[in-house]
Amino acid sequence: MTATRGLEGVVATTSAVSSIIDDTLSYVGYDIDDLTENASFEEVIYLLWHLKLPNQEELQELKKQLSENAVLPEEIFNHFKSYPIENVHPMAAIRTAVSMLGMLDDNADEMNKEANYEKAVRLQAKIPGIVAAFSRIRKGLEPIQPKKDTSLAENFLYMLKGKDPSPVEVEALEKALILHADHELNASTFTARVCVATLSDVYSGITAAIGALKGPLHGGANEGVMKMLTKIGNVENAESHIQALFQRKEKVMGFGHRVYRNGDPRAKHLKEMSKRLTNLTGESKWYDISKKVEEVVTFEKKLPPNVDFYSASVYHSLGIDHDLFTPVFAVSRTSGWLAHILEQYENNRLIRPRAEYTGPDLQKYVPIDERI
């Protein structure tokens, strides 16, 4: 048995949800370029969960269900209020809150198809409110419940900031949510599938996935990018800062990818949005620094930016706190995780690979007082 490091190139499952072929990312066969241009995030959620685009009636029904299930139980607010959360990372908080939702759901362990779909709706509906509530409570503000008949993107910004977002902000977040919604068998999606393949419940699958997304090699990279841009501070410092990272053999957050060879197809949309939004906010320096960093990294290492690189300056321009960037990713990716969880349940088999053993040969137990 020979291990493949990081499971690179290993095909671990079949899936009809999304694919990466020749550096093109598509959801159920629809190119993300097409969806980003034309679809709403709710349409994409429907597409991922039903493997077809909704008609008008089906879309309205999903929107109604999401709206009806978006109100958060008081227990979540009380939980956030009962801890000194100033130093808690929001990803830890939402991971815990999703786990709590599982505790509070009487049907958490009901495993039929309908019950699991309903849990998917409940979770997707509530996750934006969880992120917003955490953000407000840690600032000493009261959490805000969602509006009715409002898109998920708009409601999220409303609950986060306590005021109606501008159409430009809503459109930008909507596009970002579409771009992050699913991504084949990425680390967190794999985690979710491994978890529910034991026939554990939907909440456990999403809790596990949030844990995997949190790491800086995965979703945590977008926060890392903003930290780096802030440290760089201005365009003139960019080259020396990146060269110093190379010298120390540190990774540049937001660059490289396990699967894409010629670039992440999501990055160009976010780059364009970053340019436009930073211009509108009068802070084009974030775009300019990002562009300079991209020039240096692609020249020196031939590594193109991934989805996390320009999303950092996009979220910053939307007035989102930097440590909430990865939670925003989670709000979107919950739709993909849920699609994969539902797909896994449909044709389940325990996921249990092997390990190449590198320890000592069989040895005899030595009683403790005979050991040196």
Q: Which is nearer to ligand CMC, 125 or 339 (CB)?
A: 339
Among residues 50, 89, 257, 322, the one annotated as catalytic is 257
Instruction: Decide if 308 is catalytic.
Output: yes
Residue 31 bridge partners (DSSP): 26
Cβ-proximal residue to ligand CMC, closest one: 256
Per DSSP, the residues of 236-295 read HHHHHHHHHHHHTT---TTB--SS-SS--TTHHHHHHHHHHHHHHTT-THHHHHHHHHHH
7 binds ligand CMC (CB under 6 A): no
CB of 246 to ligand CMC, least distance (A): 7
The residues facing 30 across adjacent strands are: 27
Residue 6 interacts with ligand CMC (CB under 6 A): yes or no: yes
Question: Contact between 133 and ligand CMC (CB under 6 A)?
Answer: no
User: By CB under 6 A, is residue 258 in contact with ligand CMC?
Assistant: yes
Applying CB under 6 A, among 218, 241, 291, 340 the residue interacting with ligand CMC is: 218
Residue 256 makes contact with ligand CMC by CB under 6 A: yes
- Residue 150 touching ligand CMC (CB under 6 A): no
The rounded distance, in Å, linking the Cα atoms of 235 and 296 is 12
**Contact status, residue 102 vs residue 203, Cβ threshold 8 Å:** yes
Q: How far apart are CA 123 and CA 102, in angstroms?
A: 9
Residue 34 annotated as catalytic:
no
For ligand CMC, what does the binding mask look like between residues 304 and 323, x meaning CB under 6 A? --xxx---------------
Choose, by CB under 6 A, the member of 81, 251, 276, 322 that binds ligand CMC.
Answer: 251
Task: Annotate 2-39 with b (16+ C-beta within 10 A) or e (fewer).
Answer: eeeeeeeeeeebebebbebeeeebbbbebebbebbeeb
**With binding defined as CB under 6 A, does residue 265 bind ligand CMC?**
no
Q: How far apart are CA 228 and CA 37, in angstroms?
A: 30
Give the binding site for ligand CMC (CB under 6 A). Answer: 6, 186, 217-219, 221, 251-258, 301, 303, 306-308
